[in-house]
Amino acid sequence: EILDLHYNFFDGNIPSELGTLELLEEVYVSANFLTGEIPVEFGRLSNVRVFWNYHNNMSGVIPIQLSAMAQLESLRLGRNDYQKQPIPDFIFTLQNLVDVNIEDSNLEGELPTNLGELLLLESLEIDDNFISGLLPSEIGRLALLEHVEIGGNSISGWLPTEIGLLVDLTSLSMAGNFLGWEIPSEIGNLVNLNVLDLHYNWLSGSLPDEITELGKLEILDLTYNYLNGTIPQNIGAMSSLIEFRAAIQSDVEADTSGFYGELPVSMGKLENMELFEVFYNSLSGEIPSEIGMMGNLYELNLEYNWLSGTVPSEIQELKSLVDLYLADNNLSGSMPQPICDSGAVISIDCDAVECDCCECNPLSMTPN
């Protein structure tokens, strides 16, 4: 009842005769060197619950005959060399599907509204295709959804407010699309979210305060968007955060766009933070001394802002620090010697900040 051939070195075509094994329930042929098309005879395998054929060199199109696999729960066909084709409509009629992976498969067209019919779906991976159009609001019907990867496509429009209905979601990645408008406040409903990756989009407006309600969030990547406003003052409530990335699009002038205002003192509560990147923004004021409480921090990148004052000596408390990027600001004074002694790589404007251990940027390159 199980055919398990994955993670081998098989090449050539998949034998069409396998379609006669009608008692099969699970078929694994992934991670080989298989070529040719998926045999249409596989449509006879009406008892199959699992069909994995990802990471091969398959060609042709995904055959509509697979629609006869009415019991299918897990379908993984991604990372093959199919010819460019629309997203197969039949996939959204397989109502028992729990897991779908058709990433990097030359798919084009728009996501259909009947995506919302897959009520048992827990994982959807369709990244690195040519999918366009809007993210249908019907996605909010998928109450069991936990994992979504739709990055590397051409999806436009906005994040529908219905996304906030997916309260079981642990990972949402839509990087590398053309999403615009603001991040909806309903994002704060996703209290089980661990990963939110929206980098390389066209998102604008300010971060909703509700985002700080994501107490389980570990990775927040907003890099290269057109966001502005202040970093939420209550960011310290996001106690699980490990990575925070929020550099703005590099074609936007740092003195007119991006996050502005002061760095929140509550960031000192982010004791699990390892990477904090907010370069190319318009942040001002002094670097808060509370930053020295972020004990796991290994990279702090505050370059290309309007930060002023001196480098706080409390940074010396960051025993895990490897990279400290502070250049192209309005800082002054001298670099505390214990920070130099830490062995971290330090980038600073040496014409403005006295430092014997730093990698120096000329003051003429600062935003002002």
Using CA atoms, how far apart are residues 304 and 366, in angstroms rounded to an integer?
Answer: 7
User: What is the predicted pLDDT for the residue at 364?
Assistant: 39
Q: pLDDT band at residue 200, thresholds of 50, 70 and 90?
A: very high
Residue 73 has a pLDDT of 98
Average pLDDT over every residue of 311-328:
94
CA distance 97 to 106: 21
**At residue 170, does pLDDT exceed 90?**
yes
In this predicted structure, which of 243-247, 249-253, 301-305, 306-310 has the lowest mean pLDDT? 249-253
Confidence of residue 366 (pLDDT cuts 50, 70, 90): very low
| Confidence (pLDDT) at 243 | 98
- Structure confidence by residue, pLDDT tens digits, 70-81: 999 999 999 999
Cα–Cα distances in Å, from 236 out to 162, 211, 268, 271?
27, 11, 7, 9
pLDDT > 70: percent of the chain: 96
Q: CA torsion angle for 256, 233, 207, 211 (degrees, to 10)?
A: 160
Q: How far is CA 197 from the centre of its chain?
A: 3
Q: Tell me the pLDDT of the chain averaged across its residues.
A: 93
Express each pLDDT in 37-62 by its tens digit.
999 999 999 999 999 999 999 999 99
Give the DSSP H or E segment for 162: none
- Tell me the pLDDT tens digit for each residue of 335-360: 999 998 888 999 999 889 998 888 88
Instruction: Return d(Cα 23, Cα 2) in angstroms, integer.
Output: 9
CA pair distance 326, 170, nearest whole angstrom: 33
Q: Give the pair of three-digit tokens for residue 289.
A: 């001394």
Residue 188's pLDDT band (boundaries 50, 70, 90)? very high
How far apart are the C-alpha atoms of 226 and 318, rounded to whole Å?
Answer: 31
The CA distance from 178 to 30, in Å, is 32
pLDDT (tens digit per residue) in 139-160: 999 999 999 999 999 999 999 9
Tokens of 293: 């409480």
pLDDT at 237: 96
Q: Edge to edge, what strands does the sheet with 226-229 contain?
A: 204-206, 226-229, 258-261, 282-286, 306-310, 330-334, 353-354
Kindly tell me if the per-residue pLDDT of 26 is higher than 50: yes
pLDDT band at 89; cut points 50, 70, 90: very high
What is the per-residue pLDDT across 95-121, written as a single tens digit (0 to 9) for each? 999 999 999 999 999 999 999 999 999
Q: Residue 257: is its pLDDT beyond 80?
A: no
CA distance 264 to 285: 10
Question: Are the C-beta atoms of residues 263 and 287 closer than 8 Å to each other?
Answer: yes
> Which residues are CB-neighbours of 312 under 8 A, at least 6 positions away?
286, 287, 288, 289, 291, 292
Give the start-end residues of each E strand in 6-153. Answer: 11-13, 26-28, 33-35, 50-52, 74-76, 85-86, 99-101, 107-110, 123-125, 130-134, 147-149
The amino acid occupying position 151 is: G
Single-letter residue type at 74: S
Cα distance between residue 162 and residue 134, in whole Å: 13
**Following DSSP, what letter does each residue of 282-325 receive, concatenated?**
EEEEEPPGGGGG-TT--EEE--SSEEEEEPPGGGGG-TT--EEE
The DSSP output letter for 187 is G
What DSSP string describes 68-99? G-TT--EEE--SS-PPSEEPPGGGGG-TT--E
Q: Are 31 and 9 within 8 A, CB to CB?
A: no
- Given this model, what pLDDT does residue 357 score? 87
- What's this model's pTM, rounded to 2 decimal places? 0.93
Q: Residues of the chain with pLDDT > 90: what percent? A: 91
The pLDDT score that the predictor gives to residue 362 is 56
Q: Contact at 8 Å (CB) between 333 and 353?
A: yes
What pLDDT score was predicted for residue 350? 87
Contact in structure between 334 and 346 (CB atoms under 8 Å): no
Mean pLDDT score, 184-208: 97
Match 């251990």 to its residue by tokens: 357
Q: Which amino acid is at 50?
A: V
- Binned at pLDDT 50, 70 and 90, residue 198 comes out as very high
